Amino acid sequence: MAEKLYISTSPHVHCGDTIEKNMHWVITALMPAMVASFIIFGLGAFIVTATSVASCLLSEWLINRYLLHRDRSTLGDGSAVITGLLLAFNLPSNLPVFAVVMGALVAIGIGKMAFGGLGNNPFNPALVGRVFLLISFPSRMTSWPVPHQMTAYSDAVTGATPLSQFGYANDSIPGYWDLFIGNTGGSLGEVCALALLIGFAILLWRKVITWHIPVTIMLTVAALTGIMWLVNPVTYVDPLTHLLSGGLMLGSIFMATDYVTSPMTVKGQVWYGVGIGFLTVVIRLFGSYPEGMSFAILIMNAIVPLINNWCKPKHFGEAA
């Protein structure tokens, strides 16, 4: 017989799920988009991604060690790597290293650790970092290198992106196929819809996320832009182009679905998705920034506690 028996109340078994497993599958799901970004933007994408991930890890380690005086490292849970990857994916591939490092420090330091670390942050850390950079370096953050300059970094030639053309003549917008495979300018991880959709499939397959948030965002955007397009096809582009361009895929699949900053019930998640879709369309069509995804997600992040209060699960036996 064993020398001692554990005494704790039921349940005595666990399904085996851990934070690490979930985070590792998210990282895996981000891999196709990362590989695509290396293929499309070459060296610059690699430098920005590596810098971002490394500085996120370093910031978290330093803050844990020297500001919070915690003995145990939290790097192993994988969330800092995800923040690093997502931040990089939201940056142009020619952004200087110092800016990337600043973005990472803000993302981890202000976006996450200031609130107490993983689980306590109200806003998506990567987006906090991105928006900080967007406000600090507006011109650098809104001029993107044109694809296929494999060895270029800071010297990359920048060009127009589809989103910045939405207000102008329609003929300069790339075709659906180019948008789908990422043959276009943009932030380094957001351009290849194909890779992001593969990642979406991985997340759904491993049951890391459910379809509700991404699909409601996409449907809302498609519906609203569809209405505008039907009303005036000359001024407004068609919904499919909207879906495939900018940060919509990246944002709806990987950023809006962040566990910590999204609602707890399916009903809440649907409203949250509708809200993000609506705000994105409003900013895209009527705002002064070409892309509205980050702001839309951050604004909806802010009201998640309210959504959680409004959208309670249906209680068993209540008005059945």
Partner 1 sequence: MANTFRMGGVHPEPNKLTAGMKIEPAALPKQAVFPLSQHIGAPAVPCVQKGDRVLVGTKIAEPGGFMSAFIHSSVSGKVAKIDTIVDASGQRKPAIFIDVEGDEWEPSIDRSDKVALQCDMAASDIIDKIRNAGVVGMGGACFPTHVKLCPPKDCKIDTLIINAVECEPYLTADHRLMLEYSDQIIVGIRIILRALGIDRAVIGIEENKPDAIELMKMKTAMVSGIEVMPLKMRYPQGGEKQLIEAVTGRQVPPPPALPANVGCVVQNVGTVFAIYEAVQKNKPLFERIVTVTGKSVSNPCNLKVRMGTPVSQLIEQAGGMPQDTGKLISGGPMMGRPLLGTEAPVVKGTSGILMLPEKDAVRREERNCIRCAKCVQACPMGLEPYLLGTASENADWETAEENWITSCIECGCCQSTCPSRRPLLDWVRLGKNKVNGIIRARNAKK
Q: Give the interface with partner 1 as residue ranges (CB under 8 A).
A: 1-2, 5-15, 17-19, 21-22, 77, 116-120, 259-265, 312-318, 320
What is the full DSSP assignment across 104-120?
HHIIIIITTGGGTSTTT
Residue placing its CB nearer to partner 1 in the complex, 21 or 65? 21
CB 140 to partner 1: min, Å: 33
216 near 210, Cβ under 8 Å?
no
CB 1 to partner 1: min, Å: 4
Residue placing its CB nearer to partner 1 in the complex, 101 or 202? 202
What is the rounded CA–CA span in Å between residue 287 and residue 128? Answer: 19
Residue placing its CB nearer to partner 1 in the complex, 9 or 151? 9
Tell me how many degrees the CA angle 263-265-270 measures, rounded to the nearest 5: 75
Residue placing its CB nearer to partner 1 in the complex, 148 or 314? 314
Residue placing its CB nearer to partner 1 in the complex, 66 or 317? 317
CB 285 to partner 1: min, Å: 32
DSSP conformation class of 312: P
Residue placing its CB nearer to partner 1 in the complex, 14 or 69? 14
Two tokens, residue 101: 């490092």
Q: Phi then psi for 159, rounded to 5 degrees?
A: -150, -175
Give the residue ranges of DSSP H helices in the chain: 19-41, 43-62, 79-89, 97-105, 125-136, 138-141, 176-181, 193-205, 212-231, 239-244, 248-250, 266-286, 293-302, 304-310
What is the rounded CA–CA span in Å between residue 86 and residue 66? Answer: 25
CB 131 to partner 1: min, Å: 21
CB 30 to partner 1: min, Å: 17
CB 184 to partner 1: min, Å: 34
